[in-house]
Structure 1
């Protein structure tokens, strides 16, 4: 399963599908994450409020994900550097609201938003994902086509 939009390497996870126990209150045509383990937390930090979760039972795709784990681990320093770069680009507010008037707070907010970094996270992640897939395919020793 993977979260869309996919922001981090942990947004792609392998899960074992099981039939819910008799009497379990689960919806039809739904995916219910277990409250045990860390699968839900890893996918989007547990924030699945409206994001699409894609599920595939394609064996070739599952094989690529399994084969990419070593490559993802090898890229840990790159991921850490990327995370540090993003955190440095975010400007935290240094002071509370200066006014109690709602209209003035609106102007403060607009002034703050106009100066916030627009760091290109999506572009950086696409480049990083390409590197992860390249390493995964190299580790497997052959190129696997997904059809």
Structure 2
């Protein structure tokens, strides 16, 4: 996808209502107060022994940079919100709301923009060392904890 397509996906999310129950379907998760969508991803690294990992990281980080710049051009400077301490709180058993608990398990930080009553979120996530890098974008009314 191009940056313009990423922005279109975010704009569509901004216009949608939120479901009352969590829903996961085809690279998208939604729940009370949030939508997250995988807008781009790399291949996983299980079959190549990690040989393409650096190149894939460069590619997804370039897309992430382009998306965050486009969102900054549109909505102003982002807040960078570190999730490491939040991850510790999740693993410590604290009830952190979605989407923040899940994001904290998959990335170390997110870029945030406050647009009207919603937060726009952009980040690169990865499950474990062999999983693909995923450029994730979202919209939430749930304030960061």
Query: TM bucket by the smaller chain?
Result: under 0.3
Structure with the largest fraction of strand: 2
The alignment's TM-score, normalised by the length of structure 2, stands at 0.26
Bigger Rg, structure 1 or 2: 1
The alignment's TM-score, normalised by the length of structure 1, stands at 0.26
Structure with the largest fraction of helix: 1
